[in-house]
Amino acid sequence: MSSPSQLDFVTVDVFTSKPYKGNPLAIVRIPHGRAVTQEQKQTITREFNLSETTFLHEKNEAAQEDFWTVDIFMVARELPFAGHPTIGTACYVLGRTAQERGIQEGVIEASFKLKSGLVGLRYDVARGTAKASIPHDVHIHKRRWTRDELFALQPRLAEAHQQGKIEAQEDYPIVSIVKGMTFILVELESLEALGMVSLVGRSLAVDGLDEDWKDTFIAAYFFVRGGKGEKGSSKLRTRMIEGPLEDPATGSAASDLAAYLSLTEAGPNETVKYEIVQGVEMGRRSEILIDVVMAADRSIATVYLEGGAVEVMEGRLRI
């Protein structure tokens, strides 16, 4: 048990069952009644220096709360939603719940209260995977990212295109999965082209986004189609680049891409499955599963994000 000046934490690798693969996540447990300021959370996140850190607020058992409140922070800002922190935190807390209750199989249902809203969870005890019904308010911006803008940030792609080695579209969609989380979806023709993508020296800045959607995190999400899986799922290989950083697994970007492809390619009342592999080029292979359920009017009814996680470290931090 931590003291009043300490908090317990763990780190987990998400979207994998193997330690030191997938995407690392720090989870800080905050006991009920303990006050931790936003400034302290941001400072702790910078100390971990991972892509995201979550702060798991313990339930108020006296009030019989049926959800956990979870705050998600990047090094520079708080996020309303992010995929790998949601899945990683769900696997951790619901895996512990299964152990405490002596449950070895079946499904545990629960909820997280995020800044973007309530998220329903289903934890498969035997498989050790969590499935989240994620918040979504998909918005396709009128502004598109041009090929010239792509080539200005990715000179290897520009050079390969000039040499006739790869094709490139004239422009690319800019899509928000929720307000505050936006991705440029860049389809490439081959894994060879995907391997040419490189880090850039500055964070991405895009002018001209739609009104009320401008205040947002934005990054480029590169993808290559890989055919169909055994159960008819669409296979995709991806990379997420945000300036000088690459992310080994990005659940929000994967959900963003799956939602966009479903809106543009799927039929009414169809459920479309996606198997997304990310992080290969970093040596941290991640496996992300997504189901998109379409409504009768071809809008998106539900987006389910699924994956596993494995604990790597635990300890206590001072506040």
DSSP assignment, residue 248?
A: S
Task: Give the residue from 35, 126, 41 showing the smallest Cα distance to 85.
Answer: 41
The DSSP code sequence of 258-310 is: HHHHHHHH--TT-EEEEEEEE-GGGT--EEEEEEEEE-TTSSEEEEEEEEEEE
Beta-bridged to residue 316, according to DSSP, are 8
Burial class (CB in 10 A: 0-12, 13-18, 19+), 121: buried
Residue that the structure tokens 């008819």 belong to: 232
Determine whether 52 is an active site residue. yes
Angle, alpha carbons 296-300-302 (nearest 5°): 110
Dihedrals phi, psi of 14, to nearest 5 degrees: -110, 150
Q: Residues 52, 275, 287, 306: which is the catalytic one?
A: 52
- Long-range contacts of residues 15-18, Cβ cutoff 8 Å, at least 24 apart: 15/84, 15/87, 15/249, 15/251, 15/278, 15/286, 15/287, 15/288, 15/307, 15/308, 15/309, 16/249, 16/284, 16/285, 16/286, 16/287, 16/307, 16/308, 16/309, 16/310, 17/128, 17/308, 17/310, 18/310
Cβ of 24: how many Cβ atoms within 10 Å?
22
Question: How far, in whole angstroms, is CA 36 from its chain's centroid?
Answer: 25
One-letter amino acid at 220 equals A
Catalytic residues: 52
